[in-house]
Amino acid sequence: LYFPQSTYSETIYVGQPAGAPVLQVHSMRERPSEEPYFCLSWRNIQKPPLYAAWFHLDPLTGVLYMNKTLEWTDFDSLSSSTLGYTRKLTLKVAAAPVSQKATCIHHSRVDVSLTFINATAPSCGQKMEKLCFPDGDISSHIKENRLPGALRQLRRFTHADICPNYTISYRVEAGTIEMPFAVNNATSELVVTAPVDREEKELYRLIIVCNVRTADMLHRLDTPLLINIYDEDDTAPYVNGTDSEDVLIEFSRSEGTVFGHVFVYDRDTTPSYPKDQTENKFVGTLMTNDSWIKDTFTILHGFREEKAMFGNVRGTVHEYKLSLSRNVLVDERRSVQLDYLVNDTTYPGTEGTVMLHFNITILPVPIQFSNITYIFVLSRKSSIYSQIGKVCVDNCLKFKGIDIVYQLEISDRNVSSDVLSCYTTVNVARSLEEMSGVLYVNDTKPFYRPECQELQYVLVAQEQQKQLQTKTHLLIIFDELSIKMAERPRSLTCAEKRQRGECETFKGMGAPTGRCHWRQGTDKGISENYSTCSPDLRTCPDGYCDVIESKNMSICPQDCTRVPIIGGHERGLMLGIKAGYGTCYCYSEKCFCEQDEMEEPICDDMC
């Protein structure tokens, strides 16, 4: 048995006579043999509330009657924590099969909410619709695939005696499409005449016609009544098109990477509430005993509710994706067919399962420099931390889950110790966000020694899991014979300079040309294109504190600073100055962003 309404509500007035019906509760049958037995159920059976005695419930029809005539004093006897001229009385009606009427109060219950108004019933001639229909939203619900039966009393019992010589009758407005609903004229109950299929239609919008015949007039009042059709798991899952997906695993081999997806459809709804939901629950099983497959792959399952694709009726689309539960070795080579059984556990029928297939191909990734040698020309004026260039094993920018480390070795070991000491000039560091290497100036002293002309390195790239290694040649050529010691700069930060003139004559860290570069902003207001002095406009500022810049905060504070920024600015997500007002410049403890005209002196009391 189930109740076709989530709550029953009605208004009662002073003077409501004893024996008068108030409303009728219905209970829909789940099995033909069920006959409902109704009872009033109070939380505290021994001490029901004061107003319990005012009502009586017919156990067979579910009609609630007044047991006494309501007086003005009855209203005042009700204590309430709110003021005003209405009181809310909450009753609970339970319904059990007649065979279990002894335990009726322990069966499922529905709320009956009565609004007791501190006034007598309205006189005849008031709003006609009050005689026909209750206040507010009227809606009912029935389960799909269930038996016909009465689901709602249309008459408004509490207003029946207001106009005794009116005759009120109801009917369902005939519509173009067949509606399995009708009115039982004898009882004015709305009846569902046949089982309904939610997957066909989940909401019926009936027009209830109420005819009120007075002495000389016939009034017809229409109002919509919504009937929601409740779902049950009565349709099997199915696949639309393909139940398999081809997956190629090559450069992306890291844990958590997701590949491909297969969709399974189900015309039933799948409630996402409550979280540990039980209806229409899909369970999936990996159909393999191969431990390597079990340890390497997992299937991710998510679902969402859709309507349009199911003929404007809610249904569910399940999505299955293949995901790596660990890194795949760089030299792994394998072809696997992974079968995954999806089971609609609450579907009663036999075809509640669907088998999905993931055809997986894993290719090994060669760690090699295919026919490439690196040659870079380096200015002796370069300052320390100048970025020289990038090195990258084949496809290194696509690598995920393959860890590469780069190192430099000296090609010819038996050169003189003097020449050997030239090789401290260059070093390599692995980039932070990809698997490439960044060559940079690590020591500027060799720039001032004529014997250091050309450096021949061996660039070694080593994969960290299987220690696969590859090498190639790296040639660094100095652009001049030598420079005098006097020109040797004290390594400082370009970012301190706040004007073009002093910037472009300054030797700051990270400057490949040995000179800082001025970027002139053009926008008004706070802008990402702020004016600033930078060692290398290719990499600073670019909103990203790269592996070389993070070695020393003075190289590019615009990308890496964490110090307070004074003036109009927007901080980068992680670090640095994303946007600034006018010119941005930085000292060790603070950065400033301000308009350039700050320069001309303004007076104060010391002038």
Partner 1 sequence: SSLSGLGTHGWRAPMDCLRASEMCNQNPQCSSRFRIMRQCLVGRDRTTMLANKECQAALEVLQDSPLYDCRCKRGMKKELQCLQSYWSIHMGLNEGEELYETSPYEPMHFSDEFRLASIISAMDSALSKGNLCSDTGKPCNPCLDAAKACNLNDTCKRQRSAYIATCNRATPITHNQEPCNRKRCHKALRQFFERVQTEFSYPLLFCSCRDKACAERRRQTIVPACSFEEKVKPNCLELRRTCRSDPLCRSRLADFHMNCQTTPHSITSCPNDNYHGCLVSYVGLIGSDVTPNYVDANHTNITISPWCSCRGSGNQETECEAFLRDFRENACLRNAIQAFGYGADAGFLPITESQSVVPSERPNLQPAIITKPVISSNDIKPVDSACVFSTCANLKDGGQKCSPSNSFECADESMLDPNMDGS
Partner 2 sequence: CSLQEEEVTVSQLGLGYISDETVLFRYCSGRCEASRRNYDMTLAILKRNSKLIKEDLKKAKHRPCCRPTAYDKNISFLDNQSRYHTIHEVSARKCGCV
Q: Is 277 in the site for partner 1 (CB under 8 A)?
A: yes
Choose the binding region for partner 1 from 113-121, 405-413, 419-427, 552-560 (rule: CB under 8 A): 113-121
76 binds, among partner 1, partner 2, none (CB under 5 to 8 A by kind): partner 1
Binding status of residue 145 toward partner 1 by CB under 8 A:
no
Is residue 366 part of the contact set for partner 2 (CB under 8 A)?
Answer: no
- Contact between 567 and partner 2 by CB under 8 A: the answer reads yes
- 382 forms part of the interface with partner 1 (CB under 8 A): no
Q: Is 111 in the site for partner 1 (CB under 8 A)?
A: yes
Could you say which of 182, 405, 526, 547 contacts partner 2 (CB under 8 A)? 526
What SS3 state is found at 574?
coil
In degrees rounded to 5, what are phi and psi of residue 76? -70, -20
The string over 208-224, giving b where at least 16 C-beta atoms fall within 10 Å of a residue's C-beta and e elsewhere, is bbbebeeeeeeeebeee
186 makes contact with partner 2 (CB under 8 A)? no
Residues 1-40 that bind partner 1 (CB under 8 A): 6-7, 13
Q: Which of 226, 248, 309, 377 binds partner 1 (CB under 8 A)?
A: 226
Is there binding between residue 571 and partner 2 (CB under 8 A)? no
Query: Going edge to edge, which strands form the sheet with 454-463?
Result: 374-378, 469-478, 454-463, 404-410
199 DSSP 8-state letter: T
Closer CB to partner 2, 508 or 580, in the complex = 580
Least separation in angstroms between residue 263's CB and partner 1 is 17
Q: Is 395 left (phi over 0), alpha (psi -120 to 50) or beta?
A: left
Which C-beta is closer to partner 2: that of 446 or that of 508?
508
DSSP E strand stretches across 32-85: 36-40, 55-57, 63-66
Q: Is 184 in the site for partner 1 (CB under 8 A)?
A: no
The binder of partner 1 chosen from 32, 186, 275, 276 (CB under 8 A)? 275
Report if residue 598 touches partner 2, rule: CB under 8 A. yes
- Spatial contact of 567 and 581, defined as CB atoms under 8 Å apart: yes
| Among 31, 32, 43, 186, interactor with partner 1 by CB under 8 A | 43
CA-based max dimension of the chain = 126
DSSP code string of 16-32: PPTT-EEEE---B-SST
Among 287, 355, 587, 596, contact with partner 2 (rule: CB under 8 A)? 587
Closest to partner 2 by CB, 477 or 566: 566
Is there binding between residue 573 and partner 2 (CB under 8 A)?
A: no
Tell whether residue 562 is a contact of partner 2 (CB under 8 A).
no
Closest by CA position to 15, among listed 108, 135, 118: 118
CA distance 376 to 430: 18
Give the DSSP H or E segment for 534.
strand 532-534
Instruction: Please report, as residue ranges, which positions from 561 to 600 form the binding site for partner 1 (by CB under 8 A).
Output: 571, 573-574
Residue 581: name its binding partner from partner 1, partner 2, none (Cβ under 5 to 8 Å by kind). Answer: partner 2
In the range 198-217, which residues lie near partner 1 by CB under 8 A? 201-203, 205-207, 210, 213-217
Subset of residues 329 to 358 that bind partner 1, contact rule: CB under 8 A = none
Among residues 82 and 371, whose Cβ is nearest to partner 1? 82
Cα–Cα dist 467/473, whole Å: 20
User: Which residues, in sequence order, are CB contacts of 531 under 8 Å at separation 6+?
Assistant: 518, 519, 520, 521, 582, 583, 584, 596
Q: Is 339 in the site for partner 2 (CB under 8 A)?
A: no
**CA 33 – CA 266 distance, rounded (Å):** 32
- Minimum distance, C-beta of residue 554 to partner 2, in the bound complex (Å): 14
Q: Considering the rule CB under 8 A, would residue 128 count as an interface residue with partner 1?
A: yes
Residues whose CB falls within 8 Å of the CB of residue 80, separated by 6 or more in sequence, listed in order = 87, 88
C-beta closer to partner 2: residue 371 or 522? 522
Is residue 540 a contact residue for partner 2 (CB under 8 A)?
no
Out of 31, 32, 33, 45, the only residue in the binding site for partner 1 (CB under 8 A) is 45
Least spacing, CB of residue 501 vs partner 2, in Å? 17
Residue 522 binding partner 2, by CB under 8 A: no
Distances (CA, A) of 329 to 49, 230, 290, 344: 72, 51, 17, 36
Residue 110 interacts with partner 1 (CB under 8 A): yes or no:
no
Interacting residues of 202 by C-beta distance below 8 A, sequence separation 6+:
228, 229, 231, 313, 314
Strand partners, 341: 285, 355
The backbone region for 11, taken as left when phi is positive above 0, alpha when psi lies in -120 to 50, beta otherwise, is beta
Task: Give me the residues that bind partner 2 (CB under 8 A), please.
Answer: 525-526, 564, 566-569, 580-582, 587, 589-590, 592-595, 597-598, 602-606
